[in-house]
Amino acid sequence: MSFILNLDDNLCVLCGEHDESLDHLIFNCAFSKSIWMLPPYPSHLNKNPNLSVFENLSTWFSNPPDWQDGHIEWVVICAVKTWFIWKERCNRVFQNKHQTSVILAGNILRFLSSLTLGSYSDASPTNTSPTTGAQRDFSRTWRPPMINFLKINYDASFVSNDSHAGIGLILSDSTGLCKGARTERCFALNSEEAEGYAALAATRWAQELSLINCDIEGDSKSISEYLIGKKSNLSWRTTSILDDARKIMDSPDINYSPIFVYRTANLVADKLAKEARYLHSDQSWSANFPNMLCDLLSADNSDYLY
């Protein structure tokens, strides 16, 4: 590429330390190595020095010996990370745009989530039908966000349009520690609209807290799909609510990632949303959480998988 563009040198634009080659870009560049070592699925990506670049790439089609059942195929992880590394390289050359490895890792996680959204259904906690590896992985059990990220789980509880719907929000860090909780109430015509208000409330809370890297996680597939730009059959009232959330998410200075999970991975927010319907005002906690929340938070932390 340096020959075609008449560049003065062939230095790697990602690390600026060594001449660029396919082997260097994928396996040896310091920036690329940091991407491989960051979640999702951190790995040293060991390469065999006796094999060519393409022979090493072909080994990706076999899962590592310690690969757990239910994980996305290893070749998918490798292909996505490599693609994002290449996109970052091209953005730096052609658009003079730079992202840190942590931001790029967050974008990789969001992309992998979007790959599996089409395979999900809004399953109930009692749904035990067989699933593919990708379905099992994203996720029936709550998981903390990646390092340098926070996560807000949101849910809504709707009974009728004659009474308030409840919204529950839970803020967690990468160690699984709860950093805050909030309840809100709203009037909605149906459960879909209430879920839209919950997603907007989560996004606004993240903005209010001046969060930079944050997962916005809920258990409605259609809501999450719309937030990442996919077509949906949501009502115009719901999409107008979610458009306000997307305006916040589109800010160039933040990295908010909408993520879909099964209801079994969103139980704390679900419980809090149900309680919110009976409260006389909105509530927020940063410590001294209610007992019912403490029990659920303990269960989440004992069950999550790294």
- Tell me the average pLDDT of the chain: 82
The confidence score (pLDDT) of residue 74 equals: 86
The confidence score (pLDDT) of residue 215 equals: 94
The confidence score (pLDDT) of residue 243 equals: 97
Give the residue-averaged pLDDT of 244-270. Answer: 92
pTM over 0.75: no
139-176 pLDDT, tens digit per residue, is 578 888 887 889 999 999 999 988 899 999 999 988 78
The confidence score (pLDDT) of residue 167 equals: 97
Give the residue-averaged pLDDT of 246-253. Answer: 91
Mean pLDDT highest for which of 163-167, 277-281, 293-297?
Answer: 163-167
Give the residue-averaged pLDDT of 76-89. Answer: 92
119-142 pLDDT, tens digit per residue, is 433 333 333 333 333 333 445 788
Give the residue-averaged pLDDT of 166-194. Answer: 93
Residue 118 has pLDDT above 70, yes or no: no
Q: Which fold has domain 138-303?
A: Nucleotidyltransferase; domain 5 (3.30.420)
The confidence score (pLDDT) of residue 115 equals: 64
188: CB partners within 8 A, 6+ apart:
156, 158, 161, 165, 194, 196, 197
Give the residue-averaged pLDDT of 193-201. Answer: 98
Please report, for residues 13, 35, 78, 84, 226, the alpha-carbon distance to residue 81 in angstroms, rounded to integers and kept in the order given.
17, 7, 5, 5, 24
Question: Angle at Cα 158 formed by Cα 154 and Cα 164, nearest 5°?
Answer: 100
Residue spans per domain, the chain: 22-98, 138-303
The confidence score (pLDDT) of residue 128 equals: 34
Dihedrals φ, ψ of 215, to 5°? -85, 135
